[in-house]
């Protein structure tokens, strides 16, 4: 049985920007979690090693010598789009972009190319993706997650750890937890992830953690109400107190005029029959209720 979505035991990843502080530190933590990191790359550092992982100058070279199907990018913002193009050209299909502050124009170009090649981009500006006990391709603290039944899609980092902890404490645990990313342009939407979780056998319920800005939450609500969804979905939306026109930390967390308010998102979810948690701790409680009811 294939467990979780996008990444699992079969994921073999390269780390782009492996010799940087972040890249090297998190390569160690990912290896400790059991993630298969087969190679790293940093232009000019080819021939060295980081935590036992061989480093190459180009992705082409790394791919020739190692069998890889995913990449995680820690490259600084001005060079991150280039790193993404390089790995897209090598036909890798799952790419996690941790880098923050990538210009919108660059992100649009990357998403265009990824769409043409049928590649999945997680991020940018994301904590990454984790399929519990199988693969962690990201910077999230592993200890808050535990093998379980709830799939999480989120637009934030620490808030996700908060809610994931709640699920762990209640014994529900997680199947796959995926950070969509805090930028205005990101590769995956809630709808994309809902589709995947629908097909995933490990996932019994889904938590969507949204925030102000954009309309991914509204689109998810529309998807659930028009297409129907076989698994319980609970949502939380951060930013009820956010004033319009101000960026709340994330580049993508901004109310433009009247679009992107928490109110609009919460109303859309409620209209679609998706339960909305008032506080982060309510997410686990509501999911437990929903799952309990379903099991009866």
Partner 1 sequence: MKLFEFEAKAIFKRYDIPTPSGGLATNPAEARDIAIKINTPVAVKAQVLVAGRARAGGILFANSPKEAEKATEKLLNMRIKGVKVQGVWVEEKVSAKKELYFSVTVDRSNRCYVAVASSEGGVEIEEVAAKTPEKIVKVLIDLVYGFRQYNARQVAKRLGYSGAQMLDLASILLKHYQLAVEQDAELAEMNPLIEKPDGKFVAADTRIIVDDNALYRHPEFRKRPFEEAELTPQELEAQKTGLAYVKLDGDIGIIGNGAGLVMATLDAIQLYGGSPADFLDVGGGASADMMSIALNIILSDPRVKVIFVNILGGITRCDEVANGILEARKRVGFTRPMVIRLVGTNEEEGRRILTDAGIHVLDSMEEAAKKTVEIAKARGE
* Helix H or strand E segment including 130: strand 128-131
Q: Are 215 and 266 in contact (CB under 8 A)?
A: no
Token reading at 99: 């880098």
Q: Using the minimum distance from each CB to partner 1, give the nearer residue, 249 or 273.
A: 249
Distance, in Å, from the CA atom of 237 to the CA atom of 165, rounded to the nearest integer, reads 17
Strand blocks (E) in 132-270: 135-138, 147-154, 174-179, 205-211, 233-238
Tokens 């399929």 — which residue?
A: 131
Residue 41 structure tokens: 């790359």
Write down how long the chain is: 296
Number of helical H runs and strand E runs in the chain:
9, 14
Minimum CB separation from partner 1 for residue 203, in Å?
22
Tokens of 15: 């780390």
Closer to partner 1 by CB, 57 or 222: give it: 222
Shortest Cβ 10–partner 1 spacing (Å): 26
Residue number, 46 or 103, with CB nearest to partner 1: 103
Known catalytic residue at 66: no
- Catalytic position from the list 51, 66, 143, 250: 250
Nearer to partner 1 among residue 88 and residue 102 (C-beta): 102
Work out how close the CB of 45 gets to partner 1 at its nearest, in angstroms, rounded to a whole number.
Answer: 23
Q: CB neighbours (10 Å) of residue 44?
A: 8
By beta-carbon proximity to partner 1, the closer residue of 112 and 294 is 112
- The least distance separating partner 1 from the CB of residue 62, rounded to whole angstroms, comes to 26
For binding to partner 1 (CB under 8 A), which residues are involved? 29, 77-78, 101-109, 111-112, 115, 139-141, 143-144, 154-162, 165, 182, 184-185, 189, 209, 211-216, 219, 236, 238-243, 245-253, 257-259, 262, 278-281
Residue 64 C-beta: closest distance to partner 1, Å: 28
Q: How far is the CB of 152 from partner 1 (least distance, A)?
A: 12
CA distance 179 to 122: 7
**Rg value, the chain, Cα:** 19
CA distance 106 to 82: 9
Q: Give, in order, the Cα–Cα distances in Å from 228 to each of 4, 129, 223, 225, 232.
A: 21, 26, 7, 5, 11
Q: Which is nearer to partner 1, 199 or 258 (CB)?
A: 258
Look up residue 11 and give its two tokens: 């994921």
- On the CB side of 108, how many CA atoms lie within 13 Å of its CA? 4
Active-site residue list: 250
């Amino acid at each position: 049985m294939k467990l979780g979505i996008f990444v699992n035991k079969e994921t073999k990843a390269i780390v782009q920007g492996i010799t940087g502080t972040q890249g090297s530190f998190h390569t160690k933590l990912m290896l400790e979690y059991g993630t298969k990191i087969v190679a790293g790359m940093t232009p000019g550092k080819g021939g060295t090693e980081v935590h036992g992982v061989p480093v190459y100058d180009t992705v082409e070279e790394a791919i020739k010598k190692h069998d890889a199907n995913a990449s995680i990018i820690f490259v600084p913002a001005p060079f991150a789009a280039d790193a993404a193009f390089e790995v897209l050209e090598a036909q890798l299909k799952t790419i996690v972009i941790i880098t923050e502050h990538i210009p919108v124009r660059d992100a649009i170009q990357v998403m265009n190319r990824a769409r043409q090649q049928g590649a999945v981009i997680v991020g940018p500006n994301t904590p990454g993706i984790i399929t519990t006990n199988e693969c962690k391709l990201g910077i999230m603290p592993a200890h808050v997650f535990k093998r379980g039944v709830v799939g999480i899609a989120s637009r934030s980092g620490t808030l996700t750890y908060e809610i994931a902890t709640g699920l762990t404490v209640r014994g529900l645990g997680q199947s796959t937890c995926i950070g969509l990313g805090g930028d205005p342009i990101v590769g995956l939407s809630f709808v994309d992830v809902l589709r995947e979780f629908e097909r995933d056998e490990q996932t019994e319920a889904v938590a969507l953690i949204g925030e102000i800005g954009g309309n991914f939450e509204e689109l998810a609500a529309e998807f659930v109400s028009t297409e129907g969804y076989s698994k319980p979905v609970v949502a939380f939306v951060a930013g009820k107190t956010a004033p319009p026109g101000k960026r709340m930390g994330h580049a993508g967390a901004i109310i433009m005029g009247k679009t992107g308010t928490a109110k609009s998102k919460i109303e859309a979810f409620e209209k679609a029959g998706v339960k909305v948690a008032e506080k982060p701790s309510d997410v686990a409680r509501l999911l437990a209720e929903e799952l309990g009811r379903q099991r009866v």
